[in-house]
């Protein structure tokens, strides 16, 4: 199956009313487990590299792993630079074969966000690479459990319509009550705002900070109009808990490091399978084996 762009996986998702997972391509176990699950469930997938999340793993090593896995997969898989901060990181990702990039100018004044996003679109579209951008800002932090900003600026539907028209982006990340990292208290996701934005823009909508919600919320998010669901924090915490369980099951002498690699790969495969079911992505693709 060809390595595809964000636009190629999300445009059918928006039209078909299903969700596509975007999972952290932080190491080989994450990538292999996620791709195995996508193939088994016949679901499209997005592999995301985020430099902030894995600062000890250079982009030049991590992105080729994700790209190679996407090229070999039996289902459509896109790769994306997550939360790119400027032309330098975007150009690096494109040169490494990434099919899609996200420019995150959500912390900038509106006109600056527009201008910098337009530049990202110019660079990426010239070589057939998709672009995601963000309007509004999402609080919290996926890096520090108690870090990041508590404040969010919700996406204004009218501004979203203008932003998409002026920039020519392929997908729009929105702020509708979602938070990076663990939620503080009961999440309050504004599904009416999602529907309003969806009615004003033609591009697929993206939700960052989508992990840690109740299982029944994911079908509702997709039904309201979210096509790309970015999921990591809850999965990362559960993976650690699974490894702690392994330590209670085995003696230290039996736990050489390769056992941890195997256990982690199996965990990411199984949890990805579960999540694909929640967002309605199973059975979408024809198996190309």
82 tagged catalytic = yes
3-state secondary structure of 74: coil
How do residues 79-130 score in pLDDT, each as one tens digit? 999 999 999 999 999 999 999 999 999 999 999 999 999 999 999 999 999 9
pLDDT at 139: 66
Domains annotated on the chain, with CATH:
3-279 (3.20.20.70)
Give the model confidence (pLDDT) of 145-167 as tens digits. Answer: 444 455 678 999 999 999 999 99
Name residues whose C-beta falls within 8 Å of residue 113's C-beta, 6 or more positions apart in sequence.
105, 106, 133, 135, 163
Q: How many CA atoms lie within 13 A of 236 on its CB side?
A: 19
Section 23-31 average pLDDT: 97
Task: Tell me what pLDDT residue 100 has.
Answer: 98
At 143 the pLDDT is 47
Task: Give 48's pLDDT tier (boundaries 50, 70, 90).
Answer: very high
Using alpha carbons only, give the angle 122, 127, 131 rounded to the nearest 5 degrees. 55
High-pLDDT (> 90) share of the chain, %: 83
Residue 253 pLDDT class (50, 70, 90 cuts): confident
Element (H, E) at 104: none
* Cα dihedral value 45, 53, 244, 27, nearest 10: 50
Which is the catalytic residue, given 56, 82, 104, 112?
82
- Confidence label for 185 from pLDDT (cuts 50, 70 and 90): low
Would you say 200 and 157 are in contact if contact means Cβ atoms under 8 Å apart? yes
Mean of per-residue pLDDT scores for the chain: 92
Q: How many angstroms separate the CA atoms of 264 and 238, rounded?
A: 10
Q: Which of 123, 122, 89 is nearest to 104 (CA)?
A: 89
pLDDT at 289 over 60: no
Q: What one-character DSSP code corresponds to residue 184?
A: S
CB 228 within 8 A of CB 13: yes
Cα 260 from Cα 27, distance rounded (Å): 13
According to DSSP, the residues that pair with 229 across neighbouring strands are 21, 207
């Amino acid at each position: 199956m060809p390595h595809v762009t964000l636009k190629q996986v999300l445009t059918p998702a928006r039209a078909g009313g299903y969700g596509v997972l975007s999972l952290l391509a932080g190491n080989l176990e994450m990538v292999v487990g996620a791709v195995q699950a996508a193939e088994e469930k016949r679901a499209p997938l997005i592999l995301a590299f985020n430099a902030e999340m894995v600062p000890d793993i250079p982009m030049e090593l991590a992105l080729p792993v994700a790209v190679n896995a996407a090229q070999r997969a039996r289902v459509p898989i896109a790769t994306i630079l997550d939360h790119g901060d400027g032309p330098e990181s975007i150009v690096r990702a494109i040169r490494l074969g990434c099919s899609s990039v996200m420019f995150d100018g959500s912390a900038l004044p509106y006109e600056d966000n527009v201008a910098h996003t337009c530049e990202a679109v110019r660079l990426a579209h010239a070589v057939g690479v998709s672009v995601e951008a963000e309007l509004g800002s999402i609080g919290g932090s996926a890096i520090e459990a108690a870090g990041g900003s508590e404040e969010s600026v919700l996406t204004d539907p009218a501004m979203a319509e203008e932003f998409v028209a002026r920039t020519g982006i392929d997908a729009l990340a929105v702020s509708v009550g979602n938070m990076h990292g663990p939620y503080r208290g009961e999440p309050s996701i504004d599904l009416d705002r999602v529907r309003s934005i969806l009615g004003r823009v033609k591009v697929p909508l993206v939700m960052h900070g989508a992990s840690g919600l109740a299982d029944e919320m994911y079908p509702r998010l997709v039904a309201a109009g979210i096509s790309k669901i970015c999921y990591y924090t809850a999965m990362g915490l559960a993976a650690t808990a699974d490894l702690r369980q392994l330590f209670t099951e085995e003696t230290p002498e039996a736990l050489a490091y390769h056992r941890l690699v195997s256990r982690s790969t199996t965990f990411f495969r199984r949890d990805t399978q579960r999540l694909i079911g929640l967002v309605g992505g199973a059975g979408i693709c024809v198996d190309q084996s």
